[in-house]
Structures are given as C-alpha cells and as structure tokens.
C-alpha cells in the first residue's frame, strides 16, 4: 500500500514536470533548457539510487547544446508530436515502465528466484490481412486469438509484477485494433507498442490512438517498393507510405521494424532509404536479424559474417553525433553488449503467442506453460524459463547472445532437459531441426564476433553513460 502511494505521488510529480517542458515547446531555447533541467533534477531526486550521478550529469550536458544532433532530434519531436502523445509516453514508458516498473521487476526477480520480464510481447491474433512470403508468424495457425479478457488479464497480472510495457505483434495486431484501443484506455498507466504492417491504419484509428496517447508503432518494411512488394504484395509499400503520412499528421510516435537479410541489408541501412523514412515522420528503427524459424525457412537469407559485421558498424555509425541522420537505430542482435546478452526467457522480456503459450522469445517457439492454465507468474516459473535464467548469459561474448542462432547447442539442451514442446500448431519443428540450421552460421560468426568483442572492450570501459545510451 505504501509503495502504491509513493508511486502515485512520484508519478504526479513527473507529470507536472513534463507539463513544464511542454509549456515551453514554442518558447525560446533558454526557457526550454530550464524546463529540461527541472525534469532531470526531479529524476535524480527520485531515481538517484537506481542510476549513477554521471547519468544525470550527461543528460544536463546534452540539453546545453541545442544544435547537437540529439537535441535537434528531441526538439523536432517536441515540435511535431501531439503533446498528449509526448506526455503519455514520457510518463508511462519513461517513468512508470522505465524506472518504477523496471526496479520492481528486478527486485521481484531476486525475491522470487525467477525471471520477471520488463516487457511482455503478446500476439492478440494470428490472423493477418496479408500473406507475406516466408512469414514465420503464420506458422502458428490461421485464426488463433487472445480474447480481450485474456489481454486485459495479462496486463492486470503484469502490473502487479511491475510490468508496464506491452508490445504486440501477430499475425497483424491491428486486425484487433478496437480491442487494442480499449486496452490502452483502460490501462492508462501502461505503454503499448504495436508491430504492424501498417495497411489497416486509417484516419479514425489515428484519432483514437492520439486520444489514448499511450500507444506507439513500428511499421514493417523490407526496403523500397520493388523489394517490399515482392514479399508483401503489390501496392503494400504505397499503403505503408500513406499510413505514415496519416500518423505524422496526427502527431503519433512511430518507427519501422526491419528484418535484415543477406539480400537487403545494405538497402535498408542506406542514407537514401533512411532519409526517405525520416521524411515520413519515422523517429526510430528496429533492425532484426533474419532467423530461420519454421520447417521450410531458408538458410540462404542468413547474413554472411561480413554482412553482419557491416551491420554492427553501420548501426553504431548511425548513432554517432557525426552522422546527421536524425533517427535512433537499434539492432536486436548486435546490441547485445548493451543489455548483457540474451534478454529472453523473462530476463527482460517474454512472448505470449495467440494460443496463450508463454514462450522465451518471439523466435523461440517452445513452452510448457499457458496463460489459460496457470497464472502469469507461474508461467514465468516454468522449467524452460528457469533454464534460461540458470544459463544466461549463453555466451560471455554478448555479440553471440542467442541460444539458437549463435549457440545452437544451448537451446537443444534446454528444450530436451525441460520437456518443452513445440508451440507451432501448424507445422511443429523440433529444436534439433531448428538449431541444425544455425550451426554453420554460428561457427562462421564465432571468430569474427570474438575479434569485434575483444577490440571493443577498451572502448566500452571508456564510454560515458550517455555514450552507452546512444551506442557510441
């Protein structure tokens, strides 16, 4: 009870401080800097025991220079995004999930002896309005759904554990957009994020999303029109561009979700491509390494070691002050060094598929726990998750984080030891079959990754806290 009152009081204080920043959005730079510093001071007052003082010092240095890349990035967002969207994300993702929630999940992890994730990625449905070539999400089955009651129960239970950040994929999650908006409105203290193909975004939905304020989006792209539509269908690229125009006009916060392969890795990281999506209002981009999930998945699309090393350097280049592209880029696989390796199995996140199976990762389709049979917390205590906790990190080199892609023997061992079953209802794949596809890749990447890791150790030790955030 006391924790609840303290959280409510601190949230109210942050809310007032955020209002202070927004009040100066259209005023001079000096006033805006003062407002930012008040917010930083408040953060240090309440969160000083969570982060070192140099984190807050670095933030103050950042706001001093309005002409720096990242302050221009922040100021542009403040000028163009809906103020309610800014406030709800700063409050829910920044304070509620990022500080209060994260601290609580980490404390419960120690108290309960099991992983308690910071993020839950859940699939409202397996249904999709597209039929993309090679889409592993469709492997679950054609028309599975988590009911609104299921989704509400997941969030309600999750909040009790300190989980305030909920991502959604599918299928196509916006097939269920009415239920998603309903969920956002009920759980006003949570941050929601949808990975979507973008084709179901219309004027009405944009208005509802802006009114809720606490939902952001990642739109899927494979490259420019020819490549994108070759996989997703004719006319899809133009529909995504139209959706971006609508979202930008309504001040929504959105980015892109890009699977990089041996075929498209240079295109989707090129200046030309990035300038195009930035002009459409994209603020961030997630890059996901191609995973050969599914019985029929091709290994030919796996990047070579040279291509993956290119991605490693390119994403870090995009985050430097010297690169003038105003977009924040994240690489799910190559950024393992910033999060201590694999984050799955409930360490930082877990996945709930549309059948209710609680899986370690969106790419690891094995489980022995279902939300329809047990509580969310008991699902996190399932044998497979406990093996994840016991074995993480799966490699001391965090550029080789995954128990499937870079350490395939690990996943096979854990699945066999725990008796977890394949959750693919359409075409079940054994862990041995999946991991055998990764063995040659893992062996090929090992020496390259080890050399990169060795060369970056001294640099990591020298970095400031702000450098870690921006991946310099």
What pLDDT sits at residue 468? Answer: 47
> Is pLDDT of 32 > 60?
yes
Domain extent listing, the chain: 1-93, 114-464
Say what percent of the chain tops pLDDT 90: 73
As to burial, measured by CB atoms within 10 angstroms (0-12 exposed, 13-18 middle, 19+ buried), residue 326 is middle
Residues 6+ apart with CB under 8 A from 115: 109, 345, 346, 347, 350, 380, 385, 388, 389
What pLDDT sits at residue 171? Answer: 86
**How far is residue 137's CA from residue 130's CA, in Å, rounded to a whole number?**
12
Kindly report the number of other CB atoms within 10 A of residue 459's CB atom: 10
The superfamily CATH assigns to domain 114-464 is Aldolase class I (3.20.20.70)
Of 156 and 9, more confident: 156
State the pairing for strand pair 366-367/421-422: antiparallel
Q: Cβ distance 136 to 297 under 8 Å?
A: yes
Q: What is the pTM of this model?
A: 0.93
Q: How confident is the model at residue 229 (pLDDT cuts 50, 70, 90)?
A: low
Tell me the average pLDDT of the chain: 91
Mean local confidence (pLDDT), 355-383: 97
What pLDDT sits at residue 452? Answer: 95
Q: How confident is the model at residue 36 (pLDDT cuts 50, 70, 90)?
A: confident
- Please name the residue ranges forming H helices in 52-176: 53-64, 69-80, 83-89, 102-112, 148-160
What pLDDT sits at residue 470? Answer: 42
Tell me how many degrees the CA angle 168-92-358 measures, rounded to the nearest 5. 35
Q: How confident is the model at residue 423 (pLDDT cuts 50, 70, 90)?
A: very high
Mean local confidence (pLDDT), 53-58: 89
What pLDDT sits at residue 293? Answer: 92
Q: How confident is the model at residue 4 (pLDDT cuts 50, 70, 90)?
A: confident
Q: What are phi and psi of 170, to 5 degrees?
A: -170, -140
What pLDDT sits at residue 131? Answer: 65
What pLDDT sits at residue 138? Answer: 52
Of 24 and 271, more confident: 271
Q: Cβ distance 385 to 409 under 8 Å?
A: no
Q: What are phi and psi of 196, to 5 degrees?
A: -135, 155
Pick from 61, 2, 66, 60: which is nearest to 28 by CA?
66
């Amino acid at each position: 009870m006391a924790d609840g009152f303290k959280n409510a009081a601190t949230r109210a204080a942050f809310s007032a401080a955020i209002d202070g920043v927004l009040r100066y959005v259209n005023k001079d730079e000096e006033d805006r800097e003062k407002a930012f510093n008040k917010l930083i001071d408040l953060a240090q007052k309440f969160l000083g025991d969570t982060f070192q003082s140099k984190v807050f010092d670095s933030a103050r240095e950042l706001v001093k220079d309005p002409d720096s890349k990242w302050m221009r990035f922040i100021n542009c967002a403040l000028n163009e995004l809906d103020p309610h969207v800014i406030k709800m994300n700063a409050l829910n993702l920044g304070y509620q999930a990022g500080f209060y929630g994260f601290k609580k999940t980490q404390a419960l992890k120690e108290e309960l002896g099991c992983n308690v994730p910071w993020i839950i990625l859940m699939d409202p449905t397996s249904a999709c309005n597209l039929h993309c070539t090679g889409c592993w999400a469709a492997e679950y089955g054609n028309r599975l759904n988590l009911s609104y009651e299921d989704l509400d129960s997941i969030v309600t239970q999750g909040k009790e554990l300190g989980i305030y950040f909920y991502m959604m994929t599918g299928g196509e999650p916006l097939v269920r957009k009415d239920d998603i908006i309903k969920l956002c409105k009920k759980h006003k203290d949570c941050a929601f994020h949808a990975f979507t193909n973008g084709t179901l975004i219309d004027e009405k939905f944009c208005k509802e999303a802006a009114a809720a304020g606490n939902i952001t989006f990642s739109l899927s792209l494979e490259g420019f029109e020819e490549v994108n539509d070759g996989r997703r269908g004719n006319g899809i690229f133009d529909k995504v561009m139209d959706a971006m125009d609508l979202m930008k006009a309504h001040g929504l916060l959105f980015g892109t979700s890009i699977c990089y392969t041996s075929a498209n890795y240079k295109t989707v990281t090129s200046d030309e491509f990035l300038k195009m999506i930035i002009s459409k209002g994209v603020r961030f981009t997630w890059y996901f390494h191609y995973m050969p999930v599914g019985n029929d998945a091709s290994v030919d699309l796996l990047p070579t070691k040279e291509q993956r090393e290119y991605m490693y350097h390119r994403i870090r280049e995009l985050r430097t002050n010297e690169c003038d592209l105003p977009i924040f880029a994240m690489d799910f696989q190559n950024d393992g060094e910033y999060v201590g390796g694999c984050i799955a199995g409930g360490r930082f996140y877990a996945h709930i598929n549309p059948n209710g199976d609680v899986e370690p990762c969106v790419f690891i389709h094995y489980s022995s726990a279902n939300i329809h049979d047990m509580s969310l917390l008991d699902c996190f205590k399932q044998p497979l998750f406990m093996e994840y906790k016991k074995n993480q990190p799966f490699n001391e080199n965090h550029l080789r984080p995954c128990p499937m892609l870079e350490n395939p023997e690990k996943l096979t061992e854990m699945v066999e030891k725990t008796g977890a079953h394949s959750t693919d209802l359409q075409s079940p794949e054994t862990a041995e079959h999946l991991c055998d596809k990764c063995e040659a890749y893992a062996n090929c990447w090992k020496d390259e990754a080890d050399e990169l890791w060795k060369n970056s150790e001294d640099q990591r030790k020298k970095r400031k806290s702000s450098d870690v955030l921006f991946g310099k």
